[in-house]
Amino acid sequence: MNTLYLGDCLYVLRENIPDESVDLIYIDPPFNSKRDYNIFFDDKEIQSQRIAFEDTWTLKNIQDSLVELHTMKTEYLYYLLLTYQKVAPHAFPYLTMMSLRLVELHRVLKPTGSFYLHCDPTMSHYLKTVCDIIFSKENYRTEITWMRTSAHSDAKSFANVSDIILFYSKSDEFTFETQYQPYSEDYIEKYYKHREENGKVFLDRDLTAGGLSGGGYEYVWKGVKRIWRCPEETMEKYEREKRLYYTNKGTPRLKQYLDDMPGVPLTSIWIDIRQSILKHKNVSAIQHKSQKHS
């Protein structure tokens, strides 16, 4: 509990994390960018930098991983990687490195747990096929698109402003709580048109059931005969709670207060998470990528 490990996550997982003990896993691994990320030291007397993390993967530095995958009970995964060695050699070393670690991450995840893999569009489609084998395609939940920046210029293509987050579970029994984001000002202005003396804002919902599938309840309410969506005792309850709004024709409608609504359910498109702007770009890179393999 409350322990921070520094090092290659493969060995940290094997040496410190027991089977099915983790509720939630989020990883922001290397993206196979073929770049070296430097950390910059700057003071009044010394200006220097050193390589903090190399995001370059070759056949030489993944041979042991490939041999190990071949000896594990990962037959389909091994043959998938061999296929990528032929059809996508630029991705093969990286995918081999990632596969071995994804197998360990799957091992430590609880049956009720969730797994999120953050990557960019250059590798996400390859990683999805790997995760489909390790977690099984039935446990694939969704692909989240995160708009990570608001301005970018690509001379010969559409501006690339997004990253991908793959969401998997380990079983159908995973824990998930719907998240909400606030309604937009335009939405509130369009639909929540009524305001009470106490300042509470509400919209009015139809209580009639004419044409509603399944029928309704027919009775007279304050001189208005309709087929209603709720029984008369429920209408009386709304009246006591002062939750009925009457039109010019005397037809009751249900007040829905803005304060009582949780907001809009979060979708698979994320546009409201801003990246921190750090002083040095090279510091930002190492902060974003963290420690190698972590």
CATH number at residue 76: 3.40.50
Structural domain span for residue 219: 183-260
CA-based nearest residue to 222, from 195, 253, 193: 253
Q: Provide the token pair at 34.
A: 């073929």
Q: What is the mean pLDDT of residues 90-118?
A: 94
In this prediction, residue 159 carries a pLDDT of: 80
pLDDT digits (tens, 9 = 90+) for 195-232: 999 999 999 999 998 776 667 899 999 999 999 999 99
pLDDT band at 126 (very low <50, low <70, confident <90, very high): very high
Judge whether 27 lies within some domain: yes
pTM of the full structure: 0.73
Number of domains in the chain: 2
As a whole-number percent, the residues of the chain with pLDDT over 70 amount to: 78
Task: Specify whether 165 is located in the same domain as 280.
Answer: yes
Q: Which residues contact 260 (CB under 8 A, 6 or more apart)?
A: none
Residues 96/87, Cβ–Cβ less than 8 Å = no
Task: Specify whether 172 is located in the same domain as 145.
Answer: yes
Judge whether 4 lies within some domain: no
Enumerate the β-bridge partners of residue 167. 116, 142
Of 29-33, 44-48, 149-153, 238-242, highest mean pLDDT: 238-242
Judge whether 2 lies within some domain: no
Task: Specify whether 104 is located in the same domain as 190.
Answer: no
> In this structure, how many other beta carbons lie within 10 angstroms of the beta carbon of residue 222?
11
Residues 182/201, Cβ–Cβ less than 8 Å = no
* Rounded Cα gap, residues 16 and 243, in angstroms: 56
Judge whether 294 lies within some domain: no
In this prediction, residue 61 carries a pLDDT of: 63
pLDDT digits (tens, 9 = 90+) for 16-25: 999 999 999 9
Judge whether 1 lies within some domain: no
As a whole-number percent, the residues of the chain with pLDDT over 90 amount to: 56
Asked if pLDDT for residue 191 goes beyond 60, the answer is: yes
Task: Specify whether 173 is located in the same domain as 188.
Answer: no
Q: Which residue has the higher pLDDT, 94 or 212?
A: 94
Name the burial class of residue 12, with classes exposed (0-12), middle (13-18) and buried (19+) by CB atoms within 10 angstroms of its CB: middle
Task: Specify whether 122 is located in the same domain as 187.
Answer: no
Task: Specify whether 238 is located in the same domain as 149.
Answer: no
Enumerate the β-bridge partners of residue 50. 39
Task: Specify whether 87 is located in the same domain as 202.
Answer: no
Q: Which residue has the higher pLDDT, 61 or 124?
A: 124
